[in-house]
Amino acid sequence: MSLGFLLKRLSSLVVTALIVSVIVFGITQLLPANAATMILGEYATEDALATLNARLGLDQPAWVQYWHWFSGVLHGDFGISLRTGQAVGPTILSAFGNSAILALFALLLVSLVSIPLGVLAAAKRGRPADMGVSLLSYLGVSLPEFVLATLLLAWLASPAIGLFPASGYVPFSEDWLRALHHIALPVLTLTIVLTAHVSRMVRSEMVDTLESDFVRAARLRGLSRKRVLYRHALPNSLLPAITVIALDIGYLIGGVIVVEEVFSFPGVGRQLILAIQNRDLPMLQAGALLMAVTYAVANLLADLAYGVLDKRIQFE
Amino acid sequence: MNGSTVSRRQFLLGSAALGVGTFGLSSLPAFAASAGGTLRIGLNITPNKLNPMLTRLNSEYMIAEMLYSGLTTLGHDMTAQPDLATEWTSNEDATEWRFTLRENVVFSNGEKLTSADVVASFNKLLDPETSAPGRRNLGPISGVTADGDHAVVITTESPFGDLPVGLTYPTAKVLPAALIEADFAGFDQTPVGSGPFRLASFKPDQVAVLERNPDYFIAGEPYLDGVEVRTFPDASSAAAALLAGEIDLLNEIQPTDYQRVADAPGIDGLLTPSGRFLDIVMDNSRAPFNDKRVREALSLSLDREAIVELVAEGFGKPGNDSPVNSAYRYYDDAPLKSFDPDKARALLAEAGYPDGLKLELVASVKPGYRSSLAVVIREMARASGFDISVKTMDHPTYLDQVWKKGQFYVGFYNMQPTEGTIFNLLFTSGASWNETKWNNESFDALISEADRTTDTARRTELYAEAQRLMREDVPAIVPCFFDLLGAKAEYVEGYVQHPRGANYALHTVSLSDSAPTRK
Amino acid sequence: MNGFRRTLSALVRTPQGAIGLLLCLLLLALTLFGPELAPRDPEKFHFTARFAAPSAEFPLGTDWYGRDLLSRVLAGSRSTILLALLATFIGTVAGAAIGIVSGFLGGRADEIMMRLNDALMAIPSLLFALLILSVLGSSSINAVVAIGIAFTPGMARIARSVTLQAREFDYVSAAKARGEGTAWIILAELLPNVISPVIVEATIRVAFAVMTLATLSFLGLGAQPPSPEWGLMIAEGRDHMFRSPWPILVPGVAIALVAISFNLLGDGLRDALNPQASS
């Protein structure tokens, strides 16, 4: 992978982030509520509203406001939350950390479970094991996160069973055991849905690989079926699997929003929903931008990983 | 519907009512003497504003009450109790009041609290520029002056017997005069007050940590070393945290969760009848609700007992289209309005809608039972010819676009300390939030006379007449009052729910020896 | 027509395709007749039968107001399925139009359009739909529009890449050489070649639209109570889930069934239209 490629991908990331920031800002500007009304509440006088509007720069043209916001973001200043009156930056970053914990645990479990499942299904193509995996993955991709999450909650956190807490969050720094206990159900939900997705993809990649010329050639050379599967086919399907997982991060982000809402988990998704419900524009802008950039970065990393692994395989 | 549930409820109601009677604010349970420990309270509404004059939410009132003091505070029987003022007297016609202040009060910045601070605080509070909620709820105050270092004189434009109670409004707190002058905005970040606790740290949306104020003006109080106020995203997760032992006290539980939480081992349910109500606001100045027959028809379409069961899960009382119920002093008891779809249909036809009436009822999604009520009303009123569609919306949009402006929506209000407050807040022509635009002159005259009257018997008559007028003319439909529902761990002692829902008196709470020890 | 029959017979030969087609036809029937099949008034309260478990009287139980869950799910099928189809249709038409035009024009215009498109795709679709809805306000129709818009960029990408391939075909060059107009080339030459991958993608998207629509209602941004929209039923049932699981279980299973049906049909169609992938 050349430096040029890296630079090109990085610059396109920056362009994407810029366009996303304009879109996000544009959309939030259309929201039907005035920030000053939000802050001062129902008791405010007209004069007080006008003063605050001027102080917040809300009486200026949209592009001036955008520039103001954007230059703030560049300095790490995301503005003041209209709902809490506190700086948006630290709030959204700590929420982001919480969401990242959910997402990373889910990704780890998904990688551990879905790749073997996909390989198994491909290797036993057409046989009961394959059918079983297919059936489960159809179920998984057809169950929206909120349904699965709610059902898990109603079952495993019910007073009768009480295996897991119904909601909430304990920081790992406070008590890691209870922290794990609290993230178990959200992570389980995300893992099930994502595993269904990824194992289907891994299976179909693996099937393609098993039918590719070089695998056939290896079989013709008299190599054992197992050896062909693990030494030749598997490494070659891992690459697409990584891409699939990376592409599914967009899906995962959507899942995180929903799961955080169901389990009242204090992450970015929850902040975003709260921001939408409360017309908290600065928080909404920061949260949406952060999610979009995360998605773009994940795609970039997947590309880079693909490049690196691809080279290594070619060298072998 | 279910016999055992009902009897259990009645039992709870009985014991709660007894609680209100026995423990006033001044008579503390003797066992509460053991000091120390940290109480963890769960909230489901994030406290946003730290500035005590700008608070609007119960969660903010709670924190402000711990950090600041007012002249008076509200007792469980809705009478004024001493806070900074130890005693008060008025002239004959209740237009001039003298409040005597405690002499041992210091702010958390070390300065002594004097009458100058009280005067400056009230001037700031009453200044329209401050946009303080409650500015118009205190009473018709025309002036506040110092009378020496430790007394203030408050004059009112008209006689106002309820002034000491009016001053219990949660935003009427006393702040240091020097800081009001120099840096009023600073109160958003750094509280300086004379309350029983001091703020140690504050993370919005997460936790506020308060520690005991060693210089508090009541010797020996507060009993606790500290209070942690934790914010949960919604009522059910707060309830889950109480069940998991992560918090000790919860002052707000959804009716749907209450029974399950109260039945859990180690937990006491708290249930207090209250004047908190949901109402159906109708714009009386515009068609179709400018026709009394339409309002009456809707009122007759509702099975109020069933509404209490469906919307409040039975934890409440049916209402009679007046915001005053038995939790208030001057409640005028009357038989419950009848459920009569046939008569409703006839009235609707008489009003010019023989083929029914199509309406859109707006409900904010917060709290959840607003939209439940809307759905229930839609279904019940179908029988008498109303075709009501429900529109729910998020709370800020509701406040911005519908509240006080809409012609048909679900309102939700806390109990107020006096009949005068609730009427002047919502139903008189000059009401702060005159959402019904009823503008009934005889009602206005009754309320204004009651405000000016100090004679209890006369006030009883006036308020009874006002309630009768509301029942008959139906400016709004008040179908359901809610009990305040909460819960606490068994080891939390001395906490009595306040029916007003905005007072907490946490300085009188303690933890028993059986409380789990924590670092 | 011949092509259609060929596709159909290829479709029913795959197990997913056959099952998917069957289920989707059943769902179509449900959409058309579901509300009429409902044994009871889906909004009627039964005070004496709140939180009832399934019985002869209420085959799938009742909810917290004593409303018959079977009737509610049936009544909700029409709006849930039709609206999902509509949302997919909006996204497909808009995306295909953008993709085909962009691919056909090529060069600078293509570059700019696709750069913008990629930026939109960088917003996860649920997030995008949430942002659009926060502007439009909550209602079923707005949710449909939001999902349609959120689907557009992905659809545009697919349509464009197919168009780029088709553009190189001889008959397109021939049409250009004949001096045919741009609109004619797009409609008569490109569209028929682009349409089948777009349809496969659209079928799979229907399942996604059903799920997203329900998710938006669940988050309070779609259908309004007391509508028997399935996502909303689950959202409302959450308050009562520890008293009775039926009000969330019934619509949950319904959503999963619809999504499975369209996923199966989509996979079957893909295999039928793209024989290499299936063999």
Of B255, B253, B376, B235, the closest CA to residue B312 belongs to B255
Q: What are phi and psi of B411, to 5 degrees?
A: -105, 160
Q: Chains meeting C at 3+ CB pairs closer than 8 A? A: A, B
With CB atoms and an 8 Å threshold, state whether B237 touches A83.
no
Closest residue on chain A to C233 (Cα): A147
Average pLDDT for A279-306: 84
Range of lowest pLDDT (A4-8, B172-176, B180-184, B194-198): A4-8
Chain C CB contacts of B306 under 8 Å are 47
Chain B and chain C share a number of CB contacts under 8 A equal to: 48
Of B492, B486, B488, the closest CA to residue B514 belongs to B492
pTM above 0.90, yes or no: no
Q: How far is C-alpha B482 from the geometric centre of its chain's CA atoms?
A: 12
Range of lowest pLDDT (A147-151, A274-278, B124-128): A274-278
Chain C CB contacts of A146 under 8 Å are 214-215, 218-219, 231, 234
**Could you tell me which residue, A274 or B41, shows the higher pLDDT?**
B41
With CB atoms and an 8 Å threshold, state whether C224 touches B390.
yes
How confident is the prediction for chain C on average, in pLDDT?
86
| Minimal C-alpha gap between A180 and chain B (Å) | 15
3-state secondary structure of B195: coil
How confident is the prediction for chain A on average, in pLDDT?
81
In 10 A of CB A10, how many CB atoms? 11
Q: Which residues pair with B141 in a beta bridge?
A: B156
Report d(CA C215, CA C212) in Å as an integer.
5
3-state secondary structure of A84: coil
Model confidence pLDDT, tens digit, residues B150-192: 999 999 998 898 999 999 999 999 999 999 999 998 998 899 9
Q: Which residues pair with B277 in a beta bridge?
A: B413, B481
Model confidence pLDDT, tens digit, residues A203-212: 888 887 777 7
- The amino acid present at C170, given as its one-letter code, is D
- Residue A47 pLDDT > 80: no
**Could you tell me which residue, C60 or A232, shows the higher pLDDT?**
C60
DSSP state of B106: B
Q: Which residues pair with B143 in a beta bridge?
A: B155
- Residue C78 pLDDT > 90: no
pLDDT score at A309: 67
Report d(CA A164, CA A155) in Å as an integer.
10
With CB atoms and an 8 Å threshold, state whether C220 touches B394.
yes
Torsion-angle region of C46 (φ positive above 0: left; ψ -120 to 50: alpha; else: beta): beta
pLDDT tier, C210 (very low <50, low <70, confident <90, very high otherwise): very high
Q: What burial class does residue B32 get, using C-beta atoms within 10 Å of its C-beta: 0-12 exposed, 13-18 middle, 19+ buried?
A: middle
With CB atoms and an 8 Å threshold, state whether C241 touches A153.
yes
pLDDT score at B189: 86
pLDDT tier, A119 (very low <50, low <70, confident <90, very high otherwise): confident
- Residue C49 pLDDT > 80: yes
Cross-chain CB nearest to C242 (options B260, B371, B382)? B260
Q: B37: Cβ–Cβ under 8 A, 6 or more apart, which residues? A: B224, B225, B510, B511, B515
Cross-chain CB nearest to A150 (options C122, C241, C259)? C241
Chain B CB contacts of C43 under 8 Å are 379, 382
Report d(CA B188, CA B176) in Å as an integer.
14
- Residue B7 pLDDT > 70: no
Range of lowest pLDDT (A79-88, A118-127, B385-394, B477-486): A79-88
| Minimal C-alpha gap between A293 and chain C (Å) | 8
Q: What percent of chain B has pLDDT over 90?
A: 69
* Full 3-state SS string of A218-250: HHHCCCCHHHHHHHHHHHHHHHHHHHHHHHHHH
With CB atoms and an 8 Å threshold, state whether A159 touches C252.
no
Closest residue on chain A to C218 (Cα): A146
pLDDT tier, C223 (very low <50, low <70, confident <90, very high otherwise): confident
With CB atoms and an 8 Å threshold, state whether B133 touches A159.
no
**Could you tell me which residue, B93 or A85, shows the higher pLDDT?**
B93
Report d(CA B412, CA B433) in Å as an integer.
12
pLDDT tier, B38 (very low <50, low <70, confident <90, very high otherwise): very high
The structure tokens listed for B43 are 């909230």
Of A272-286, B135-149, C187-201, give the range with the top mean pLDDT.
Answer: B135-149
The answer to whether B390 and C224 have CB atoms below 8 angstroms apart is yes
Model confidence pLDDT, tens digit, residues B253-304: 989 889 989 999 999 999 999 999 999 999 999 989 999 999 999 999 999 9
Cross-chain CB nearest to A167 (options B54, B132, B236)? B236
With CB atoms and an 8 Å threshold, state whether B401 touches A32.
yes
- Residue A64 pLDDT > 90: no
Q: What burial class does residue C3 get, using C-beta atoms within 10 Å of its C-beta: 0-12 exposed, 13-18 middle, 19+ buried?
A: exposed
Report d(CA B243, CA B235) in Å as an integer.
13
> For tokens 């490494």, what's the residue?
A235
How confident is the prediction for chain B on average, in pLDDT?
88
The answer to whether C75 and C34 have CB atoms below 8 angstroms apart is yes
Please report the residues numbered 205 through 244 in chain C whose beta carbons come closer than 8 angstroms to any beta carbon of chain B: 220, 224-226, 238-240, 242-243
Report d(CA A131, CA A273) in Å as an integer.
39
Asked if C215 is an interface residue toward chain A (Cβ–Cβ < 8 A), one would say yes
Chain B CB contacts of C240 under 8 Å are 256
Q: Are strands B207-212 and B226-231 parallel, antiparallel or unpaired?
A: antiparallel
Average pLDDT for C51-77: 92
Cross-chain CB nearest to B131 (options A43, A81, A167)? A43
Chain A CB contacts of B400 under 8 Å are 32-34, 37, 279
Model confidence pLDDT, tens digit, residues A20-32: 788 888 877 776 5
Of B346, B361, B389, B343, the closest CA to residue B289 belongs to B361
Asked if C123 is an interface residue toward chain A (Cβ–Cβ < 8 A), one would say yes
| Minimal C-alpha gap between B440 and chain A (Å) | 24
- Residue A45 pLDDT > 70: no
Model confidence pLDDT, tens digit, residues A246-280: 777 878 888 999 999 888 888 999 889 888 887 78
Average pLDDT for B426-447: 93
Q: What percent of chain A has pLDDT over 90?
A: 15
Average pLDDT for C38-51: 89
The ipTM estimated for the assembled molecules is 0.86
The answer to whether C152 and A281 have CB atoms below 8 angstroms apart is no
Q: Are strands B357-364 and B386-393 parallel, antiparallel or unpaired?
A: parallel
Report d(CA C94, CA C157) in Å as an integer.
11
Q: What are phi and psi of B245, to 5 degrees?
A: 75, 15
Report d(CA A215, CA A210) in Å as an integer.
6
